[in-house]
Amino acid sequence: QVQLVESGGGLVQAGDSLRLSCAASGRTFSMYTMGWFRQAPGKEREFVAQIRDSGDNIYYARPVKGRFTISRGNARNTVYLQMNSLKPEDTAVYYCAGSSATLGRIGRMDEYEYWGQGTQVTVSS
């Protein structure tokens, strides 16, 4: 089993930056792809960014491309989401997710077996 714990969310103003972290524990050797998803109130959960264990095969959702950066820590069990130029529409609960698949494309939510509890990001205008 793998446990994922997100941190770094908070309340910021439009234009500010935040860095989310996701720490994985347990059988992390079985997790080859990690991603970030988000869910705004009244909306479905959506893909944000994805990265492979090798640090390549990076994908971003169109609304965040150029503003968000996903990266992995030196330890295989950490992934970050640097969010710059935040907008009110970025307000959502952000979830870290892990997949045992070596995804070379944007993964579907059902391809991610492991999920964190989520961290709230609120961007005020």
Q: Is the pLDDT at 73 greater than 90, yes or no?
A: no
Q: What is the pLDDT of residue 6?
A: 97
Q: Identify the CA nearest to 89 among candidates 14, 21, 25, 10.
A: 14
Residues 27-56: pLDDT tens digits?
877 778 999 999 999 999 999 999 998 888
Average pLDDT, whole number, for the chain?
94
On the question of pLDDT at 124 being above 80, the answer is: yes
- Cα separation, 74 vs 112, whole angstroms: 22
Per-residue pLDDT at 62 exceeds 80: yes
- Say whether 114 sits in a helix, a strand or coil: strand
Give the Å distances, CA to CA, from 69 to 20, 36, 66, 85, 95. 10, 11, 8, 12, 15
pLDDT over 70 for what percent of the chain?
100
